Structure 1
């Protein structure tokens, strides 16, 4: 039976974009309640979307018997504790990034999810852009061959007004800087395409704004498949871009450079030979596009719940993302290479924050 899931969304900043996506899937989801500590703001958004229930207390939202799913879009430092609270209230959970503030916290969530019988899906909506989906399709068709080198750039602009929001730019509440809350999506695409990282060497700096956390980062990575990758992040770029470039034996793939839509079309795929380019074009002619970003991730979440299959994004995916963050910060703090995986005896297992 195709059950419509009743959703309560907590946090109406990015949460409003989630509501837009749910409204494109009316047979799968009904947004029945909104919650935010800013009562005027939450009532305004609720009126805009004609959502009947409004709350300012997250605990009250979780205790509603008429909700199946809590969607957490609150500030970063609340994500892990609110996910646990929602699970304990018997609700499925969707949670914005970062899913937790340490590897210890994400492991607690993995244990809690397993015990609860409910499902937790972290948000990594950029996986579902048509451009990166085409890349995945070409790899599945056997056209890529071994990876050589990947470069990922997140060059955005954030000025003082952005950090005027009280929880941003602080270790205790944002949990990190540009690495944690801005570039996390671009770096997840690296994992999504190539798999895990073997080792990391990184540098971080605070150059652009007067904040506690970093706003510039560069890292050199060795992937588990033997290929190399470089990551570069800044909030000081006058021209905002996000760029992925994957060099494989069979072809080179490059994203568009739009800061917030770079996993969507257009991407370029250039074969190492004219014959390979022809094979790529033939394969892409068979590619079947699906909805993108939040809409696709939410649709696949609903499908997984209905058929008891793997979620499109899992807490294990979020853990891999946080393990990379932990390794980058530890490398920057110690000026040493860091080998993954990071285990519970690692100095930064329970927190990457200084």
Structure 2
């Protein structure tokens, strides 16, 4: 028996176009994109014309009023996410939302509570998790073959110049809600936590060295994970060569991701076993491995299956909270110059906002 097709409305024509082209259209048996929303009529019509989307609106409220829409996919600037998520859940829609999900841990807890009362489900977008490389590593780690985790590195070396920050909402605390940690490295940091578990402590530094912006475009950190392993995180938007890379050292296996800057989880990873016996066990685990379509295509297909079957989503709002908690610890550590312990609850000084004090308004 086939599952019913879900009707989708996408708000925001930037990354929203990628969601349609790479996520929904390859899953045409599962989704129909019926509406596109953007305040820029030129962008809105260009996307709708190119991709055959029948409805075009300028106002988010118009999507909420469409009774035949099952899913609202939010691809707007970050400061709009909280209000739009809550409004969509309140009228019974399922929600897919780009990163960062919201602007504070207080807000993510508010959203999680709203989702628990709603008929719709909320899925944050963390597409790096989906693809052959990342999922093969996940299977090996979860099987126990890799053994005890020792150490990891996560590197985000990208390039962003003045043309990127010509978009008015970028590079500002009030609208982008952060810099590299929110808009760029958040994906590989999520993948690290997805593979090795939550963080327990972090000491981090941030800097603005590449661009004349408010937010950070360079960072580094030392992290202790709950499992006992140590991790080093680093990134810059001033690299002359773009790459993203994870390296994970376990008792019996070392993993190194593909270095494709925006999709390090897709291609097969370099897997180095400690012995021929470990190699044999890995070969057995991966025998008959089915090809996993990359990124949005697989995440959205699994979202459809989870909703249809009433099962757990492939990425949850709790996953988003863990990601935002790491960033909160990072910003607090960088400003206060201290080692920050996790988890972070309502008593923490950055629970209501991770924005550095000098940029906060009364």
Q: How high is the TM-score relative to the length of structure 1?
A: 0.98
Aligned length: 354
Q: State how far apart, in whole Å, the 2-side matches of 1:142 and 1:116 are.
A: 37
Alignment of 1:151-300 (within 5 A): 151-300=153-302
| Partners of 2:93 and 2:119 within 8 A in 1 | no
Distance in 2, matches of 1:299 and 1:148, equals: 34
* Residue deviations 1:121-164 (CA, integer Å, cap 9, x gap): 00001100210101011123321101000000000000011011
Which whole-Å CA distance do the structure 2 matches of 1:216 and 1:285 have between them? 41
Q: What's the secondary structure of 2:96's corresponding residue?
A: strand
Task: Specify every segment of 5 or more residues in structure 2 that has no aligned partner in the other structure, as ranges.
Answer: 357-362
1:114 aligned residue (109, 113, 116): 116
After alignment, is 18-27 or 8-17 more displaced?
Answer: 18-27
The answer to whether 1:56 aligns with 2:62 is no
Does residue 324 in structure 1 map to residue 326 in structure 2? yes
Cα distance in structure 2, aligned partners of 1:148 and 1:91: 42
SS of alignment partner, residue 27 of structure 2: coil
Q: Which residue pairs with 1:143 in the alignment?
A: 145
C-alpha RMSD of matched pairs (Å): 1.0
Distance 2:247 2:292 in 1: 23
Match of 1:312?
A: 314
- Partner Cα distance (1:286, 1:24) in 2: 23
SS at match of 2:67: coil
- Asked if residue 8 in structure 1 is aligned to residue 9 in structure 2, the reply is yes
2:91 — aligned with what? Answer: 89
Question: Gapped runs of 5+ residues in structure 1?
Answer: none
Name the residue aligned to 1:17: 18
35-44 vs 283-292, which moves further: 283-292
Query: Could you tell me how far 1:281 is from its partner in structure 2?
Result: 3.1
- Shift, 1:87, TM fit: 1.0
Which sits farther off after the overlay, 292-301 or 323-332? Answer: 292-301
SS of 1:344 mapped into structure 2: coil
SS state of the match for residue 160, structure 1?
coil
Aligned to 2:346: 344
Contact 2:263 2:295 in 1 (8 A): no
Secondary structure of 1:93's counterpart equals strand
Q: Report the alpha carbon displacement of residue 42 of structure 1 after superposing the two structures with TM.
A: 0.5
Question: What's the offset of the Cα at 1:190?
Answer: 0.9
* Deviations 1:258-281 (CA, angstroms, capped at 9, x unpaired): 111211113110011233234323
Segment of structure 1 superposing worse, 65-74 or 256-265:
256-265
